[in-house]
Amino acid sequence: MTEVYFVRHAEPDLSIHEDFIRPLSNKGKKDAYNLVTFFNDKKIDAVLSSPFLRTIDTVRNIAFKFQVEIQTVDDFRERKIDGWIDDFNSYTKNQWLDFNYKLKSGESLKEVQCRNINALTKVLNEYNGQTIVIGTHGTALSTIINYYDHTYGYEDFIKIKNQMPLVVKMVFEDEKCISITTEVKGSVNK
């Protein structure tokens, strides 16, 4: 069995519009620090992350606790949108209604899902039988869940929209997902 803890990043500082370098807010930094307590009774073999700053900073203290280096995996990054979108809710709904919908130079949810599942498959083969943490994003994580549970859709995505950080545990036998459970929803209090 391989256990994967997907950790959706803590609250970002939305005043920074450049996705790749958007940091955590002060609340996000505190929540990321407190998230380590959730992992106290676990043995983590590896910590991987999207290359985006907010995901790396969310899992940084977990990696430090277990004395492992964070390995960035470019294909775990968030979807490319095509600039800043003011009506993000409408855009998101359109994407969930049509997995191929995208703006001119953005990514569709189907493309995001394929990219993330390909990366996850490589990770499952490399870390078979181990317990790993993967720093991720809400949309990327939602497309992964949807791949294994086709009933997961727009309404489920909306439910997690403001849950940061979010920890979802998936258990695999080789490449087959046998369970998906939500472990942490939002702030972690000490």
Please report, for the domain that includes residue 83, its CATH number. Answer: 3.40.50.1240
* C-alpha to C-alpha distances, 69 to 48, 101, 111, 189, nearest whole angstrom: 8, 36, 28, 26
Q: Encoding tokens for residue 158?
A: 């909306």
What own/partner pairs with CB < 8 Å and gap ≥ 24 does 15-18 have? 17/84
**Residue at 190 is within a domain:** no
- Please give the pLDDT value at position 107: 93
Provide the pLDDT for residue 188. 61
Taking 50 as the pLDDT cut, the residues of the chain under it are 190
Assigned domain for 60 exists: yes
The whole domain housing 85 covers: 7-185
**What pLDDT is recorded for position 151?**
96
Tell me how many domains the chain contains: 1
Q: What is the reported pLDDT for 141?
A: 97
Is residue 18 a contact partner of residue 33, using CB atoms and an 8 Å limit? no
pLDDT the model gives residue 83 = 67
Strands 131-136 and 46-49: parallel
**Residue 2 domain flag:** no
Tokens for 81, please give them: 């949108």
- What's the pTM value of the predicted model, to 2 decimals? 0.93
Residue 1 lies in a domain: no
Query: pLDDT tens digits for 79-116?
Result: 887 766 777 788 889 999 999 999 888 899 999 999 99
- With respect to residue 176, please indicate whether it lies within any of the assigned structural domains: yes
